[in-house]
Amino acid sequence: MPELKILRRCFGYATILFAFTFATTLPVLFRIPLPHGTPRFHAGPAAILLVGMRELLLLMPPFVALVNAIAWYTLTARRPSAARWAVGACSSFLALSIPFFVASTEIPPGTVAFAGVLLFALALSSIGITGIAYFARFNSLEAPRLPVEDWNQRLKAIRA
């Protein structure tokens, strides 16, 4: 399946990209001041939401890199849990797109920054939705689990 090979490579590249992103933002995490009450900071709902989204943007890359690395490994090793990890990796792209959608509500429309943030959020969410749609069919093709009564009947038939 060539599409599986392409998706496996995408997970590998995403792992490298988000690990590099985390490595470059690590110094920022240590130097960034936490929000506190100043005359310039107004703790309204939008401000608190944006602060939360900022923290989420800084803390999501290692999570996304780890989940993509595990998805890449399980797909490469052809493990039975590969489809589940791939769905989890695609879901992490959807989770990562949420702060960008929230940030696009606060940027004035018609600017280059608005277009860039919105396009990046749409790209992340489309990768997530496409991957979930592709790998969800593998989870639906699994053999159904038999109830315990059926197993008991089969064991009795084998013993007889």
Give dist(CA 87, CA 84) in Å, integer.
Answer: 5
The proportion of the chain whose per-residue pLDDT surpasses 70, expressed as a percent, equals: 79
User: Per mean pLDDT, which range of 10-14, 65-69, 105-109 is the poorest?
Assistant: 105-109
- Is-above-0.75 flag for pTM? no
Give dist(CA 74, CA 66) in Å, integer.
Answer: 12
Torsion of Cα atoms, 124 then 93 then 19 then 73, to 10°: -120
pLDDT confidence of 51, banded at 50, 70, 90?
A: confident
pLDDT tens digits along 103-112: 787 778 888 8
Q: How many CB atoms lie within 10 A of CB 21?
A: 16
